[in-house]
Structure 1
Amino acid sequence: MIRDWCRWRCLSPTKGKEARPRTRTTFKRSPLTSRRPRDVLPSRGRCLAVFLLVYSARLNPRLGLAEWIVAAREKSTIMAHALDLEGTAKGLVALNLARSEPAVAPAAQLIHLNDQADFPTLVGIARVLLERAPPSWIRVAVNGSRVAREYIPASDLAALAWLGDEFDAVLIEAHQRAVAPSEEDVRKRLGDAAELIVLAALRRAGRRPVHVALISNAYGYDIELRAADRTDRLEVKAAVRRTCGVVHVSRNEFDKSRLFGTEWRLVQVVFSTGALVRGPIGPAHVEEIRELPGAALRALAPLEPNGFRWSESAEFRPPSEAWMRSGIVPDPAFWALSER
């Protein structure tokens, strides 16, 4: 009864669109630059440096960062002098994986990883580092149980090659533990940016859009465009290329599309993967803006027989031919910034 391109699923009230509180989002007319801490990528050398530091701290109490580094360097003359012990020690402290004052104390996650520098120990250290400081590309490169190496920078791919057969498992585990819990925040950030980009584009085109979603989610759409003879009602959805084939629509949005007929339409803003990295989102991140008429959306929904009614949300998979190219052109001077 339920067609292949439309999969229904119920969401708890706390996860539906109506229940999500909106955080205030601001915009500027020029991009802002922001400094971001460099990822502590667990290359084999980095993991060896962590091992030596944890091992030396276990043997004798070390007072301060300098004494800790000197002690670790003395443990292996050839290997230790080739490693970035100072940078690694400072990185562990910055990540709260070690305390440097009054006496050096590695975090509990690392204490048991100092018996010998074998492959399982180094892989364990890599897991700890990736969980605490996941690289920015991990959101895009890991999708469920699959790792797409084409989304990993070549230099990082080479640095992690020593993981061998454990490569996929380590990255998937890091994604599940450190990244997946915050993906709802990422979706909301992209959704807010999509609405603001559409609003700015309409204003630049001389229109006077009303951001009704800020007033209430009960409207069943995000932006209202009033004219003498009609009112256009735009429901804005954000996606990246990998996810743009799926559209999540709440029951209220679906009902409003049926109520307002041709006035209601869905606008999808497709972002590049660069928008997933923290920082301002702007027109350079927009790959495409396209639209799905309300009638095309409703045609995908199965009839509701007696005794059945979907309630919170549905997942639609519109065929590619149902989408239309949008006339909405992003304002090149607009950058959206989330205050998270």
Structure 2
Amino acid sequence: MFLLVYSARLNPRLGLAEWVVSAREKSTIMAHALDLEGTAKGLVALNLARSEPAVAPAAQLIHLNDQADFPTLVGIAHVLLERAPPSWIRVAVNGGRVAREYIPASDLAALAWLGDEFDAVLIEAHQRAVAPSEEDVRKRLGDAAELIVLAALRHAGRRPVHVALISNAYGYDIELRTADRTDRLEVKAAVRRTCGGVHVSRNEFDKSRLFGTEWRLVQVVFSTGALVRGPIGPAHVEEIRELPGASLRALAPLESNSFRWSESAEFRPPPEVWMRSGIVPDPAFWVPSER
């Protein structure tokens, strides 16, 4: 971006193609290694540059074309993140701090050059971002997990009932009935870096105790790519695993003068109590993207 904006300042009468050629002719190896044409088209698409009748960078970039020092590059990052905030920005920044576990690995690597400015840049971008709230993102992942499990069970010839659509009072999301048994599945969503903990409501915990071996927790572990706005499908599912109700209940202390349940609690089951699920995602099923 700096090379393009710098070239536009030196040669303000260029068209788009000539603009790219001019930037590539700068005496730097990097100029030949970068996708300058794609970046130029991206600037135009984001209304950060005009290409006709002649190239003209937007006002936000005018003061960022003098010297390619660190403050200038950070300034460019601010402009880009404000104009095109990544869809994970709201869930990755919360309470004035950055939770790197919610940032896709590719984006984390691409932003690593910010160094000590990493958190400050993202926090400011978060303040200006027009993106889903943290609750919206969590709900979307949770809904996707339930739909993927439902589709997987139907693909396997089962007839699941999505009771979560009826009421939260059930204390689980999906019901599977046979002649002699009813399986009750509470579905939770996570990404790899957060799958060690699960939030369970008091009602879910009580229902696990009421239904005994019929109740179990199913955790769908997504890749961080599922946090980016777009369709969610089988390629985003890294693992589906299960936790028997008895294993969950064994982790909770008995209520006493020093411990009381509130609306929910976070459980962190040891890895060995999780079981690999037999639920396999339907390869043809996708959860549609947000409008």
* Shared fold (TM-score, shorter chain, > 0.5): yes
The CA deviation string for residues 258-280 of structure 1, in whole angstroms up to 9 with x for no partner, is: 22222211011122334334433
The CA deviation string for residues 210-233 of structure 1, in whole angstroms up to 9 with x for no partner, is: 001112222221101122323211
Give how far 1:174 is off: 5.1
The CA deviation string for residues 174-207 of structure 1, in whole angstroms up to 9 with x for no partner, is: 5786598644433323222221221122223332
What residue in structure 2 maps to residue 279 of structure 1?
230
Contact kept? 1:193, 1:337, Cα under 8 Å: no
Distance change (3 Å), C-alpha of 1:121 and 1:334: closer
Distance change (3 Å), C-alpha of 1:179 and 1:256: farther
Distance change (3 Å), C-alpha of 1:307 and 1:315: closer
Structure 1 residues 159-168 or 198-207, which shifts more?
A: 159-168
Contact kept? 1:202, 1:328, Cα under 8 Å: yes
Distance 1:279 1:311 in 2: 35
Distance change (3 Å), C-alpha of 1:162 and 1:246: closer
The CA deviation string for residues 53-92 of structure 1, in whole angstroms up to 9 with x for no partner, is: 7789999999998999999999999999999877655433
* Secondary structure in 1 matching 2:147: helix
The CA deviation string for residues 110-162 of structure 1, in whole angstroms up to 9 with x for no partner, is: 45545655431232112321343356898999999999999999998998786
Structure 1 residues 116-125 or 54-63, which shifts more?
A: 54-63
Distance 2:93 2:204 in 1: 31
Distance 1:159 1:209 in 2: 42
Distance change (3 Å), C-alpha of 1:203 and 1:98: same
Distance 1:148 1:311 in 2: 25
Contact kept? 1:200, 1:331, Cα under 8 Å: yes
* Secondary structure in 1 matching 2:108: helix
Pairwise CA RMSD? 5.1
Structure 1 residues 190-199 or 126-135, which shifts more?
A: 126-135
**2:256 counterpart (286, 305, 309):** 305
Give how far 1:301 is off: 1.8
Contact kept? 1:281, 1:337, Cα under 8 Å: yes
Distance change (3 Å), C-alpha of 1:82 and 1:266: closer
Contact kept? 1:131, 1:177, Cα under 8 Å: yes
Distance change (3 Å), C-alpha of 1:241 and 1:179: farther
Contact kept? 1:251, 1:314, Cα under 8 Å: yes
Distance change (3 Å), C-alpha of 1:187 and 1:57: same
Contact kept? 1:140, 1:273, Cα under 8 Å: no
Give how far 1:329 is off: 2.4
Percent identity, aligned pairs only? 95
Distance 2:283 2:188 in 1: 20
Residues 1:69 and 2:20 are matched in the alignment: yes
Give how far 1:166 is off: 5.0
Number of corresponding residues: 291
Distance 1:152 1:222 in 2: 28
State the TM-score, normalizing by the size of structure 1: 0.62
* Secondary structure in 2 matching 1:335: coil
**1:183 counterpart (134, 140, 155):** 134
Distance change (3 Å), C-alpha of 1:296 and 1:80: closer
Structure 1 residues 329-338 or 133-142, which shifts more?
A: 133-142
Which of 1 and 2 has higher RCO (CA within 8 Å, sep 6+)? 1
Contact kept? 2:93, 2:126, Cα under 8 Å: yes
Structure 1 residues 214-223 or 308-317, which shifts more?
A: 308-317
Give how far 1:236 is off: 0.5
Structure 1 residues 54-63 or 287-296, which shifts more?
A: 54-63
Distance 2:104 2:160 in 1: 40
* Secondary structure in 2 matching 1:179: coil
Distance 1:81 1:323 in 2: 50
Distance change (3 Å), C-alpha of 1:307 and 1:203: same
Contact kept? 1:139, 1:276, Cα under 8 Å: no
Which structure 1 segments of 5+ residues have no match? 1-49
Distance change (3 Å), C-alpha of 1:96 and 1:218: farther
State the TM-score, normalizing by the size of structure 2: 0.70
Q: How does 1:1-340 map to 2 (within 5 A)?
A: 50=1, 88=39, 90-97=41-48, 109-110=60-61, 112-113=63-64, 117-133=68-84, 166=117, 170=121, 178=129, 182-306=133-257, 309-340=260-291
Structure 1 residues 238-247 or 170-179, which shifts more?
A: 170-179
Distance change (3 Å), C-alpha of 1:81 and 1:168: same
Structure 1 residues 62-71 or 176-185, which shifts more?
A: 62-71
Contact kept? 2:91, 2:133, Cα under 8 Å: no
